[in-house]
Structure 1
Amino acid sequence: MITVENLTKTFPGSTGQVRALDGVNLDVAAGSVLGVVGPSGAGKSTLARCVALLERPDSGAIRVDGTDLVSLGGTALRAARRQIGVVPQGDSLLRQRTAAGNVALPLESAGVPGPQRRTRVAELLDLVGLTDKAGSYPDQLSGGQRQRIAVARALAASPSVLLADEPTSALDPDTTGSVLTVLDRARAELGVTVLVVTHDMGVVRKICDDVAVLDGGRVVEHGKVLDLVADASSRTAAALLPAVDQNPAVEGAYDRVADVVLVGFAAVGALLPEATNRFGVDLNLLGGGLTRLGETPVARFRVGLTGERSDSALEWIAEAGGAVRRTLAGPQGVAA
């Protein structure tokens, strides 16, 4: 759906050119939600603006459904932009228009007749759960409600791609959840491909299929969230999984100590007890815990094993789909 190839973008700075994007490459599958994360100044918002062609990159290609947007101009570019809905950072609603009027604005600009326009606005207000606020003005709405109206407005022209730049910034947890639910519904019910720029890894935890980590204008990590959390050395795993604290005094009492990541209901519920039974080892949980990524349960545990077949138990857990990384405590071997 979206392919970004070797994208670069520079801006003038006080000491010369600042490279906001430095050879960025990304693939976003149709109908998925990609979270673009990273520290402040990493290039996240610049990437979103370039994908929407609100900023022109210095070089590289941005392909949406195979069409390179960078190569377009005039009428062709305007038509391509209509396939990309944008939820800008901050409160972007027009104060003199009602919620319904704000949602209708792109349809009015496109010359959509009144009856069709009203039907579409009603559909979108229902999608974002604000049908009862159709006649309310932005100053009569909460921050989360305004953001949901902004999402509805971005969806008005039936785009295939939705870009949301920090859509939950400055919102409380409950309000954040309502906005994320709307973005997820847009993907599930409308088939929209969603790119979310955020500093909040909680957004990735709740709705993202894939994640791209930017740092210094470069993509330093990119892939499916559930694949990346299985790699204990990844930034994604460090940010999303329960922390595991070392306790050498306790861990030294075991024959083997390992960090184990389990993904999915079957793995979380069964792999460790099954390993205990199969290999006759004593297995204890020394730290970690459970979390949920989207609808998928994920666990990271530090486990201590005692018994002659401890190595075999860890190898079997790895072969059965668990990610196993042995720690340095105890007589450790090579990672299973």
Structure 2
Amino acid sequence: MITVENLTKTFTQSNTSVAALDDVSLQVPDGSVCGVVGTSGAGKSTLARCIALLEKPDSGAIRVDGTDLVSLEGSKLRAARRRIGVVPQGDSLLRQRTAAGNVALPLESAKVPAAQRRSRVAELLDLVGLADKSSVYPDHLSGGQRQRVAVARALAAKPSVLLADEPTSALDPGTTDSVLTVLERARSELGVTVLVVTHDMAVVRRIADDVAVLEEGRVVEHGKVLDLVSEPGSRIGSTLLPETDQASTLQLDSGGHDVVAEVVLVGFAAVGALLPEASSRFGVELSILGGGLTRLGDTPVAKFRVGLSGERSESALKWMIERDAHVRRAPVSVDGVAA
């Protein structure tokens, strides 16, 4: 587990102190993927560099598996760094070394015997889908392949934590998908805890269990993705889920609706059956006024703006809430049209 407590980090620019991180606290559970998102300058990369011990924070604690890394020095600090694999932003491979040679670098530094190095390198290149590229130099690899080699190199020393700073930056969608697949395999097959710094919400949508939103060096939202998207007013929810307002220009039924609500449904059963079952069970007419479906990791999630008409509309809405639908009622004007 990664635990960050009250972390602060300031830099001096033109004789002015600028807070890159301001009292940041968050937890990343063992074996999970946490996305750290925010606009440029929000403090994302500074947070990753502090956790990787590449920057020393001004104050606060960073604990990995219960050990406070900030307090370590000398050989203990070097040993702690080996437990954290880092995939830096941009193309970081050495051009004079093959893919296998790049992956072997941390093992050579740790003086791992040659036979063990070869075995570990082969294992990791297979993990990232590049077993046939072991003797190829970086200039003859695609951008996505180079990034996958960088992930393999970061995993060479068997770290418990993997930090990836903008791992899909400047990659096309197909190449991005291959890199995210590798990060997923690192978590699922090696049990590595992954923290991904990204501006790309598609990364969060695809692989993140948890997410932290940074704004001007502060955490303004943090938690499990599937919990946050169901909360009214969630920044993550508004970003990851389909828009419902686009349908506000659609013509409503001429008689209007008795109830208009925004409904978030999570999971296969809820997305597939809850709305039609509510309609038939309570004998109400249910109209989809906007929204749509998406997928967060392996979980389907729907966000709809719905209109219900009929005497038992309120009962139908209550029944959906009792079955874990997340509902926010929309105001309805006196003539029955959603405001």
TM-score with structure 2 setting the length: 0.96
Aligned position for 1:90: 90
User: Quick check: 183-192 or 304-313, which moved more?
Assistant: 304-313
What does 1:75-154 correspond to in 2, within 5 Å?
75-154=75-154
Question: What is the one-letter code of the residue matched to 1:244?
Answer: T
The CA distance in 1 between the partners of 2:250 and 2:172, in whole Å, is: 41
Instruction: Quote how far apart the aligned CAs of 1:157 are.
Output: 0.1
User: Quick check: 249-258 or 122-131, which moved more?
Assistant: 249-258
What does 1:1-336 correspond to in 2, within 5 Å?
1-14=1-14, 16-245=16-245, 247=248, 250-251=251-252, 253-330=256-333
Instruction: Quote how far apart the aligned CAs of 1:331 are.
Output: 5.8
Could you tell me whether the CA contact under 8 Å between 1:33 and 1:194 is conserved in 2? yes
Could you tell me whether the CA contact under 8 Å between 1:248 and 1:329 is conserved in 2? no
Instruction: Quote how far apart the aligned CAs of 1:232 are.
Output: 3.4
After superposition, give the CA deviation of every residue in 1:95-123 in whole Å (9 maximum; x if it has no partner). Answer: 00000000000000000000000000000
Q: 1:303 to 1:326 in 2, by over 3 A?
A: same
The CA distance in 1 between the partners of 2:108 and 2:224, in whole Å, is: 38
Q: What SS does the aligned partner of 1:53 have?
A: coil
After superposition, give the CA deviation of every residue in 1:280-326 in whole Å (9 maximum; x if it has no partner). Answer: 11001111111001110000011010011111111111110010011
User: Quick check: 246-255 or 76-85, which moved more?
Assistant: 246-255
Where does structure 1 differ by over 3 angstroms across 4 or more consecutive aligned residues?
Answer: 248-252, 329-332
Could you tell me whether the CA contact under 8 Å between 1:254 and 1:330 is conserved in 2? no
The CA distance in 2 between the partners of 1:249 and 1:146, in whole Å, is: 48
Q: 1:249 to 1:79 in 2, by over 3 A?
A: closer
Instruction: Quote how far apart the aligned CAs of 1:14 are.
Output: 2.2
The CA distance in 2 between the partners of 1:169 and 1:63, in whole Å, is: 28
Instruction: Quote how far apart the aligned CAs of 1:240 are.
Output: 0.5
After superposition, give the CA deviation of every residue in 1:130-169 in whole Å (9 maximum; x if it has no partner). Answer: 0111000000000000000000000000000000000000
What is the CA RMSD across the aligned residues, in angstroms? 1.4
The CA distance in 1 between the partners of 2:15 and 2:240, in whole Å, is: 37
Question: What is the one-letter code of the residue matched to 2:63?
Answer: R
Could you tell me whether the CA contact under 8 Å between 1:229 and 1:237 is conserved in 2? yes
After superposition, give the CA deviation of every residue in 1:50-100 in whole Å (9 maximum; x if it has no partner). Answer: 001100000000000000000000000000110000000000000000000
Could you tell me whether the CA contact under 8 Å between 1:251 and 1:257 is conserved in 2? no
Could you tell me whether the CA contact under 8 Å between 2:84 and 2:159 is conserved in 1? yes
Could you tell me whether the CA contact under 8 Å between 2:244 and 2:290 is conserved in 1? yes
The CA distance in 2 between the partners of 1:329 and 1:155, in whole Å, is: 55
The CA distance in 2 between the partners of 1:15 and 1:154, in whole Å, is: 37
Question: What is the one-letter code of the residue matched to 1:157?
Answer: A
Q: Structure 2: where are the runs of 5+ without partners? A: none
Could you tell me whether the CA contact under 8 Å between 1:83 and 1:161 is conserved in 2? yes
Q: What SS does the aligned partner of 1:250 have?
A: coil
The CA distance in 2 between the partners of 1:308 and 1:249, in whole Å, is: 24
Question: What is the one-letter code of the residue matched to 1:241?
Answer: L
**Number of residue-to-residue matches in the alignment:** 333
The CA distance in 1 between the partners of 2:235 and 2:218, in whole Å, is: 14
Q: What SS does the aligned partner of 1:187 have?
A: helix
The CA distance in 1 between the partners of 2:293 and 2:159, in whole Å, is: 37
Percentage of matched positions with identical amino acids: 75
TM-score with structure 1 setting the length: 0.97
Q: 1:311 to 1:54 in 2, by over 3 A?
A: same
